[in-house]
Amino acid sequence: MKITYYGHASFLMEIAGQKILVDPFISPNPNAAHINIDEIQCDLILVSHGHGDHIADVMSIAKRLGVTVVSNPEVIGWFQKQGLEKVQYLNFGGTFRNAWGDVKYTPALHSSSMPDGSYGGNPGGFVINTPEGTVFYSGDTCLSYDFKLIAEEFKIDLAILPIGDTFTMGAKEASKLAQFVQCNKVMGVHYDTFPAIVIDHAKAKAEFSSNGQELYLLEIGESRDF
């Protein structure tokens, strides 16, 4: 599988013949000024929760490409009011089943309101389970023992976890979460975008390596095969 990082918690996953865009927040991010959202191609968009730093570019990309947006019922309802037509809602435990693989919506411990203050349902994450590999993106969350349940159901090949602290867990807890999901390969997200979440990269990598794990921190616009 190939992952392209678009900054903050935005990335494109190319897996099992699909291009899956996750939590697009690109045009408002000055660090991602070199990414042209009109050039992004995808087959599906996943949205973990309703906060602005995860949904900013959903409507423009979904409308241009006519692709399905997957999120919880409240986030989906909010987009439908703005004219989004192709949708798949999932609440916790729900799975979107496709010929190429499945997408399961998993709980996160965070908050979720839409940019206009309306209710955004519960925040979540996703397991993308395909014959080519299985990826777990936790969404914005802290650490919880419940993440051990993910490893009971799936063999995770890559975990994509927030590491920026302040709004989510930091690197130390994320490394523990990676242990809970039994995955030694972690891509870090949700760091360096705002002053409150600027992190020391070497220190974050050391937290993971001390537990026998590898932390990947991609440059914005960089692609990597996992």
Task: Please give the residue ranges that form the binding site for Mn ion (CB under 5 A).
Answer: 51, 53, 140
Residue 108 in tokens:
């996160």
CB-based closest residue to Ni ion: 51
The footprint of Ni ion (CB under 5 A) covers: 51, 140
- Residue 196 or 202: which CB sits closer to Mn ion? 196
The minimum distance between CB 168 and Mn ion, in angstroms, equals 7
User: How many residues make up the chain in this entry?
Assistant: 226
Contact 71, 46 (CB under 8 A): yes
- Smallest gap from Cβ 52 to Mn ion, in A, equals 8
What is the closest distance, in whole angstroms, from the C-beta atom of residue 217 to Mn ion in the complex?
17
Instruction: Give me the least distance between CB of 97 and Ni ion, in Å please.
Output: 27
Give whichever of 140 and 173 is closer to Ni ion, judged by the CB atom.
140
To Ni ion, the closest distance from the beta carbon of 139 in angstroms equals 8
Residue 165 binding result from Ni ion, Mn ion, none, given CB thresholds of 5 to 8 Å by partner type: none
Nearer to Ni ion, 51 or 104 (CB): 51
Nearer CB in complex with Mn ion: 101/164: 164
Would you say 140 or 157 has its CB closer to Ni ion?
A: 140
